[in-house]
Amino acid sequence: MRILLPIAGISVHIGAVVGIGAIIGLLSGLLGIGGGFLMTPILMMVGVPPTVAAASGTNAIVATSSSGVAAHFRLHNVDHKMGAILLCGGLTGSWLGVHLLRLLRHLGSADLVITFTYIVMLGLVGGYILRDSLRKMRSGLIVRARHGGLPRRTWISTLPLQMEFPHSGVRHSVFVPFALCFLVGILTAILGVAGGFVLVPMMVYMLRMPAHVAVGTSLFQALFTCAGATVMQAGDNQIVDVVLALLVAVGSTLGAQIGARLSRHLRAEQLMILLGILALGVMADMAADLVLPPSVSFSQIASLNLQPIQQLSVGFACSFGRVCMG
């Protein structure tokens, strides 16, 4: 059965779009990643124009995230305090990243720098996660670090504004999560995709948060950034297709529920192994794109004219920075 997308103006198969949503939702619920890196290209494959695919994807992530957050909230996997600080840090970092990207584009070699940075970063993050999780799984060691956060008696532990995060069972200076998410925000705005990929491992390995709380908190902050981005995309560019978003959302919310439940049956290191494999898979795909000749050398780009604040919101966590800068 087919349905007409009112803003995209094309007819699509309902099952195909719901199926796309289900796969993305499953990953979202399981690993706490936004799914934007998959959603936009897959929706484009079914014929949705790139701008509409990106903006409607943001709206669908709102639904996925709210379903995922609700499930994780019930399981006590959301650290609101940490989420709020991460959100502030990420938005500030994205704002700076957007300007850095402009500078890079002005210098002329932005694409090369972006692609290589992305491949190297994904390779390092994915490789480290995979190696570490496999080692811990084999040796039967605990994956979750001792409560107390980053190693004590370092200059980090002497930073001001120390705060307890009882939900995550860690104690940090406010500046630590802020700075980490600030860096992720810069990377996300420059690279276009990476929000959940980088954020969840950082929360687990650097902030020493339990993996499940990291996933829930990541979704929590993605919900707010994507909601803001949706309103701005609809208000300024009129490219949010609510029918497309709802179809994807139906699939993705169900997928997110399954993902959240499934995550309870997996050990933390198993979750991390999955995330590592996914990161390495995306890296391999990007590397293949670099060396294999494309079937068509032209690729349509979005002719959006977004303001920095929109680029900031869209770029962060929703993984559409590249579209915005087009």
Partner 1 sequence: MTAHQFGVALAKRCEKIKTLLLAVALGALLVVFAPADTAPGPVKMPPPKLIPDTIPMGAFYNGARLRIEGVAPAGSGVVIVIEGSERDEFFNRKGRVGPIWLTVDRIHVKHAPSVYLRFSSTAVTTLLGGSEVEEHQLDEAAIMSRIRMLCRCKCSLTDRSQQMGTHDTVPDPAYSRLLYADFLRLKHQEGTYRAQAGIVTLSQSASATRYAVDFEWPRKIPPGRYRVSVCACREHKVIAQSTATLQLTEVGFPAYVAQLAFARPWIYGIGAVLVAVLAGFLTDLLTNGLRRKRKARIQPGSPQPEAAPAAQQEPVEETHESEPAHRG
By three-state DSSP, how is residue 294 classified?
A: coil
One DSSP character per residue, 149-178 reads -SPSSSGGGGSSSEEEETTTTEEEETHHHH
What is the smallest separation between the CB atom of 201 and partner 1, expressed in angstroms?
Answer: 15
CA distances to 10, 98, 244, 271 from 326, in Å: 23, 12, 23, 34
Q: Nearer to partner 1 by C-beta: 223 or 324?
A: 223
Pick out residues in 188-247 that bind partner 1 (CB under 8 A).
Answer: 210-213, 223, 227, 230-236, 238, 240, 242-243, 245-246
Tell me the closest approach of the beta carbon of residue 74 to partner 1, in angstroms.
Answer: 5
Q: At what angle do helices 195-205 and 268-291 cross, to 10 degrees?
A: 140
x-or-dash pattern for partner 1, window 147-186, by CB under 8 A?
Answer: ----------------------------------------
Pick the piece of the chain touching partner 1 (CB under 8 A) from 54-62, 80-88, 120-128, 170-178.
Answer: 54-62
Other Cβ atoms less than 10 A from the Cβ of 163: the count is 15
CA 64 to chain centre: 12
User: Is residue 109 part of the contact set for partner 1 (CB under 8 A)?
Assistant: yes
AA identity, residue 311: Q
Binding status of residue 139 toward partner 1 by CB under 8 A? no
Question: What are the distances in angstroms from CA 231 to CA 13, 38, 95, 286, 312?
Answer: 26, 21, 18, 31, 13
Smaller CB separation from partner 1, 36 or 89: 36
Query: Which residues make Cβ contacts (< 8 Å) with residue 279, sequence separation at least 6?
Result: 122, 125, 126, 129, 197
Which listed residue (43, 53, 268, 324) binds partner 1 by CB under 8 A? 268
Smallest distance, partner 1 to C-beta of residue 29, A: 10
Whose Cβ is closer to partner 1: residue 87's or residue 178's? 87
Q: Is 103 in the site for partner 1 (CB under 8 A)?
A: no
Question: Which tokens in the block code for residue 316?
Answer: 């962060």
65-94 residues near partner 1, rule: CB under 8 A: 65-71, 74-77
Which range of residues in 87-95, 120-128, 299-307, 308-316 is near partner 1 by CB under 8 A? Answer: 299-307
Q: What is the rounded CA–CA span in Å between residue 273 and residue 279?
A: 10
Return the residue of 41, 96, 144, 175 that touches partner 1, per CB under 8 A. Answer: 144
